Structure 1
Amino acid sequence: MDNINAGSHRGWGLVLAGIFLALGIAIAGYFVGQTMFNAKVALNTAEAKGLAERRVVADRANWSVSFSVAGKKKADIPGLYQISEKHQQTIINLLNENGFDSEEIEIGVLNYGYQEFRDENQKLVDEKHYLEGSISVETNKVRLVAEVRAKVNKLIAQGIDIQNQAPTYRFTQLNEIKPAMLSEATKNARIAANEFASNAGVTVGGIRTARQGSFYIRDAGEDYGDTRKIEKDVRVVTNITFYLTD
């Protein structure tokens, strides 16, 4: 009888051991399978580029006007200074009358120069004494610069020797539009990823990695240069890797 009970206990023990073993294998199989699934999902990714572009207007302009007077003799120099100061004030008055404040105008110094002209025997045949001055404007009135430049050129008819330099226009508010442009580029990258995913029969998930490209500012419609035109094109491209799920 004891032998029968002992055998029975051993039988139940083997059954229980088998059950626990089966459960252990099943549980282990689940975790292994889940790990393999997660690994598969992690490896299923798609990289897409997102482009954002925006047309902006320059908010800062720099412009310079140069002028000069010349004489034949050294004795002309005092008179040249008087003429230079008169021309300088004429230009400043025109700028003030057309909307530029004194704080936006910088007056350069008058520079003196001298040239000699000699013949083949090194005999002095002529000489030139001249004064050169400049007036610079730095302003946020970018549209006004183009208008007043044309008026400055009319001073040539008054006998003023003027070099009306081309202005430069800059956009300095990039940090203010960066967040919105990056958001737009990310959205466009997801659109591109969704197009790929729909063709592959999968779904786009969250972002795995994101790399922001550099922001580029160019004169509107140009491939190079960013200072000649008032209107600018701002461009950024992002590279984003998305998870893909079944």
Structure 2
Amino acid sequence: MNKNLLGIALGGLLIASGLGASGYFIGQTMYNAKVAMNTAEVKGLAEKRVEADTANWSLNFTNQTKSKDEIPALYKQAEQQQQEIVDILKANGFSDDEIDIGLIDYSAYEYRDENQVVVEQEHTLTGRIGLETHKVHDIKSVRAEVNKLVAKGYNISNHSPTYRFTKLNAIKPEMLKTATKNARLAANEFAENAGVKVGSIRSARQGNFSITDSGEEYGDLYKIEKDVRVVTSIEFYLTE
């Protein structure tokens, strides 16, 4: 073979070998980088049963008369009823700071015949008393006490209390820690099936905290027991 041709052939072989080797290292580097960047995104759930710490309750009481002349006496009667209700609340352990005594409102309605002549009048005094307290378990008994006034002829609208949980910030760190732990458990299960290992966290997104009455899909006002829930989305690195 011609020396020049042999040189060219050897040169080509060496170049080809060099390209092949460099291609292997480039390919291996890209493969390793791909493995290093492989990730799995999983969701971690945390739930906690809590009790409401604040209760709000209100009632209305009304007194009516058909005579305008009886309004002063009716107003005095309404004030007496108001005080009696407040006394019941205080006897059950509630303080002035927890009790909100509303104004006694007056309203009037006239009934007219076909000639627009007033044939009857109705004068109404309506009082409102509200209660905001942290003694959430004492509301039920005091409502029962107030209802006994109905037997005395009081016209009372005893509204359903509402219960709120206001200490979410106090349990957020613990719940987020639990959600992250549960997410890693889910990632480990995935990684085991895939033959890889779970590494560090690449990114994390916190979902909204939700509060619902225990056992309910929505609504968070009418039960003392509440369910707090949060779901986090966490992306983990996967390694060989």
Place the TM-score, normalised by the shorter chain, in its bin. 0.7 to 0.9
Q: Identify which of 103, 113, 132 aligns with 1:119.
A: 113
Q: Which residue of 2 aligns with 1:131?
A: 125
Deviations 1:147-179 (A, max 9, x none): 211111111111111010111100000000000
Instruction: Give a deviation string over 1:199-233, Cα, whole Å, max 9, x none.
Output: 11111111111000000000111111111111100
TM-score of the aligned structures, taking structure 1 as reference length = 0.86
Aligned to 2:98: 104
Q: How far does residue 123 in structure 1 lie from its aligned partner after superposition?
A: 2.1
Q: Which has the larger radius of gyration?
A: 1
SS in 2 for 1:240: strand
1:184 aligns with 2:184: no
Q: Report the counterpart of residue 12 of structure 2 in structure 1.
A: none
Please list the CA deviations of residues 33-74 of structure 1 after superposition, one character each: whole Å capped at 9, or x if unmatched: 674255213331111000000110000011101111111111
Deviation at 1:30, TM superposition (A): 9.8
After TM superposition, the runs of 4+ consecutive aligned structure 1 residues lying more than 4 A away are 28-35
Give the secondary structure class of the aligned counterpart of 1:41. helix
Task: Give unpaired runs (5+ residues) of structure 1.
Answer: 1-21
Q: Percent identity?
A: 61
The residue that corresponds to 1:156 in the other structure is 150
| The one of 204, 224, 240 aligned to 1:230 | 224
Match of 2:166 in 1: 172
Counterpart of 1:66 (choices 53, 60, 72) is: 60
Cross-structure match for 2:238 = 244
Counterpart of 1:163, as a letter, is: S
* Deviations 1:94-150, CA, capped at 9 Å, x for gaps: 000011111100100010000001122322221011110101000000010122111
Q: Secondary structure at the match of 2:97?
A: helix
SS of the counterpart of 1:67? strand
- Where do 5+ consecutive residues of structure 2 fail to align? 1-17
Moved more, 40-49 or 101-110: 40-49
CA distance in 2, matches of 1:31, 1:186: 37
1:80 aligns with 2:90: no
The 1-side partners of 2:48 and 2:134 are apart by 20
SS of 1:103's equivalent? coil
- 1:190 shift after superposition: 0.7
Equivalent position to 1:55, from 49, 54, 58: 49
Aligned length: 223
SS at match of 1:102: coil
Q: Counterpart amino acid of 1:215?
A: F
- TM-score for the superposition, normalised by structure 2: 0.88
Q: Secondary structure at the match of 1:112?
A: strand
The farther-off stretch of 221-230 and 39-48 is 39-48
Task: Classify the secondary structure of the residue corresponding to 1:144.
Answer: helix
